Structure 1
Amino acid sequence: MEKIAFLGLGHMGAPMARQLLAAGHPLTVWNRTAGKAEPLAGEGARLAAGPADAVRDADVVITMLAGPEAVRAVADAVVPELRAGVHWAEMSTVGPDVVRELAARVPAGVTLVDAPVMGSTDKAAAGRLGILAGGAADGIEHILARFGPVTRTGPLGSGAALKLVVNSAVIGGVALVAEAMRLADALGLDEETAKEALAGGPLGGAVNRAFATGVHFGSDLAVKDVTLATEVTGLPVMEAVLGHYQAAAADPEVVHEDIARAVAHIRARKNH
């Protein structure tokens, strides 16, 4: 089986790496905070001293990192070590511009695929994420499928682009639910009655996400994703949504918590 290097073991990366271990792949892991990698060593993974060490003998490289700057920093270390025949699946949410940057840097013979994911930590642990794969993914689609169903989105960069579209809709929908509940609060309505009415309408999925438990997508990550989207084109509604999440991310008790905490923050936020 292919030797895989997995870089980035946060809330999403660690359960994804476990899917590969469960499938029997020889796995090398690295994380900037080394302590997050140690549990995987106890499950059979090799701990790498750094990103370059992780990828040196790999057939497949997977990066699942916090954002563009983290991806660029890791690329500085790994690009010189990539050899012809290696497949690199960039699975972070970074937007198509960063994917194009990476494509311009990888050596000849290295295949770069952008394959961001849809879903949160619960689906990562169950192997039921949705994978949006852009580029020449034939050689690693069977590996990507370990994480969940794979949707081929088109040329390189299209997976990263579609992920911005999907995340903007989800993040914006959650903020809209929060504002609707804020209005319900101001009108003195019963909370559960308002939630049930919203859940029965077209925003039902957003209501479920707004009040979800046991999942994780931090307000700081929401800020990053909406910022990436609003830099592409004029999105007045999403710019307003960005303000909500920026305010939530400025609260040290909320910044790294799931966006469900941002819902409460938006509902309680003073008039602005």
Structure 2
Amino acid sequence: MEKIAFLGLGRMGEPMARRLLAAGHPLTVWNRTAARAEPLAAEGAVPAASPERAVRDADVVITMLAGPRALAAVADAVAPRLRPGVTWVEMSTVGPDAVRELADRLTQGVTLVDAPVMGSTDRAAEGTLGILAGGDAAAVEPVLARLGGVTRTGPLGSGAALKLVVNTAVIGGVGIVAEALRLAGALGLDPATARDALAGSPLAGAVARAFAEGVHFGTDLAVKDLGIATQAAELPAIRALLEQFRRAAADPALAGADIARAVTRLSAAEGAR
């Protein structure tokens, strides 16, 4: 079984790492906040005091981090210490530019795969994530299969690019539902009636995600993803929505909360004209 170093034990990373540990992989874990590693250590994982110590004996390095800045900081510590033959699987949502920058920093003999995931914490715990794998993922596909279904997307960076497209569409759909409900309020419609009508429309999936429970995708992470998207292309509607989510994320009660919590603020009638 491959020795795996798992770096980043946030809401998604912890259940993903737990599945690899349960499958029998020797697992070393690191997280910036060390206490997050304690539950996995109690189950048999080896906690590391730093990213470079975590990867010392690894065959596979998996990163599940908050964004491009966190990835760059980890790369500073890790990239010079990877031995030839190691595969680095980058599973965060960072966009294709960050993946290409990471590839440029790796030494010869280290393989990089970008494999961001679709799905929330519930699917991470169940091992039913959708994994979008770019680059030469053949060697690590059995490892990735422990976490969910693998879709090969093409060359390196294509997985990160497709994940950005999907997240932008999902967040955009949630934002459209919120503004549709704002319009309904401004027109004096019953909120429940408007929501039911939207749920029966082509926006049904977006409505379901806008009011989902038991899942988590932080409003602050939505701001991060939309920011990356609007840097990659001219997206006027998404740029306007980004400002809405930024205002929602400025509320301390909403910054780390699931995007469903932000819907109430985005759909507030006082914002209507």
Q: Runs of 5+ in structure 2 lacking a partner?
A: none
1:192, distance to aligned residue in structure 2 (A)? 2.1
Quickly say closer, same or farther: Cα 1:269–1:93, change in 2 above 3 A.
Answer: farther
* 1:187 pairs with 2:198: no
Deviations 1:170-216 (A, max 9, x none): 00000000011111222222222211111111111100000001111
Deviations 1:59-93 (A, max 9, x none): 00000000000000000001111000001000000
1:233-248 aligned within 5 A: 233-248=233-248
Q: Hey, what does 1:50 align to over in structure 2?
A: 50
- TM-score, scaled relative to structure 2: 0.98
Cα distance in structure 2, aligned partners of 1:270 and 1:142: 51
Deviations 1:17-63 (A, max 9, x none): 01101111100000000111111001110000100000010000000
Whether the 8 Å contact between 2:185 and 2:269 is mirrored in structure 1 is no
Quickly say closer, same or farther: Cα 1:26–1:236, change in 2 above 3 A.
Answer: same
1:138, distance to aligned residue in structure 2 (A)? 0.3
1:151-170 aligned within 5 A: 151-170=151-170
Q: Hey, what does 1:9 align to over in structure 2?
A: 9
Give the letter for the 2:37 counterpart.
A
Cα distance in structure 2, aligned partners of 1:90 and 1:13: 12
Q: Hey, what does 1:65 align to over in structure 2?
A: 65
Q: Hey, what does 1:108 align to over in structure 2?
A: 108
Cα distance in structure 2, aligned partners of 1:217 and 1:8: 16
Give the letter for the 1:170 counterpart.
V
Give the letter for the 2:107 counterpart.
P
Q: Hey, what does 1:213 align to over in structure 2?
A: 213
Secondary structure in 1 aligned to 2:174?
A: helix
1:125, distance to aligned residue in structure 2 (A)? 0.8
Q: Runs of 5+ in structure 1 lacking a partner?
A: none
User: Segments of 4+ in structure 1 off by > 6 A?
Assistant: none
Give aligned pairs, total: 272
Over the residues paired in the alignment, what is the CA RMSD in angstroms? Answer: 1.0
The percentage of counterpart residues that share the same residue type is: 71
- TM-score, scaled relative to structure 1: 0.98
Q: Hey, what does 1:30 align to over in structure 2?
A: 30
Secondary structure in 2 aligned to 1:37?
A: helix
